[in-house]
Amino acid sequence: MKILAFDPSMTCTGWALLESVAGDIRGGKLLQHGYFAVAGETLVERVSHMQIMVVSILKRLPPDLAVVETPAETGRVRAAQNFRGTAMTTPIYGVAVGACIAACCGRMGEIDVLGVPSDEWTKGREVPKCGADAKKTARVEYVERTWGVTLGPKSYAGNVADAVLIARWACWRHEK
């Protein structure tokens, strides 16, 4: 089973395509990975660009399952997530998630689509904690070491690392 995961953001969206391999301690074979910076001046332009990019990736790398990270379900307080954004940070993230899900759902019938809350895929199973590290250095290093890849510029690599780990979560979930 090929699983394409997205870590959506209105600035940079990471993505990764893994193939589930039974018994693989990594969780799956990393086939491709990358990111795209979201372009546009207005919210409408950015959402439109995001959907175009997601659809393009889905067409180029047709998966059996698309997985999109969604907001945490347990709720968070500002102190718990080292909040540094504005009052619009969470709603804008929600727009990015919605745009990514909508693009994936446009392929319904061809692929299955699954959302996974950020507090679900990060539970246990060797997911390095990030704390206040906005670049997610520990996750980047873990993914690069585990799969023997380079994820790209520091400013985007954390998004790609998360996408790889989201896809791995889906591979493990599929094995159950």
Answer yes or no: are the C-beta atoms of 12 and 37 closer than 8 Å: yes
Helices (H), ranges, the chain: 43-60, 89-105, 118-121, 137-147, 154-175
Pull the structure tokens for residue 161.
């690392």
CA distances from 61 to 18, 36, 44, 90, 175 (A): 11, 15, 26, 29, 22
**How high is the mean pLDDT of the chain?**
87
State pTM to two decimals.
Answer: 0.89
132-155 residue pLDDT tens: 777 788 899 999 999 999 998 888
Q: Taking residues 31-51, what's their average pLDDT?
A: 95
Helices 43-60 and 89-105, packing angle to 10 deg:
40
Closest CA to 140 of 153, 151, 125, 127: 151
Q: Taking residues 153-166, what's their average pLDDT?
A: 93
59-98 residue pLDDT tens: 999 999 999 999 887 655 444 444 455 556 778 888 999 9
Q: With 70 as the cut, is the pLDDT of residue 15 above it?
A: yes
Pairwise CA distance, residues 97 & 28, whole Å: 24
- Stated as kind and residue range, the H or E segment containing 63 is none
Answer yes or no: are the C-beta atoms of 158 and 134 closer than 8 Å: yes
Answer yes or no: are the C-beta atoms of 62 and 39 closer than 8 Å: no
How far is Cα of residue 25 from the mean position of the Cα atoms in its chain? 20
Predicted confidence band at 106 (pLDDT cuts at 50, 70, 90)? confident
Closest CA to 115 of 52, 73, 54, 176: 73
Domains and their CATH numbers in the chain? 2-175 (3.30.420.10)
Note the pLDDT of residue 83: 47
Pairwise CA distance, residues 93 & 30, whole Å: 26
Note the pLDDT of residue 86: 59
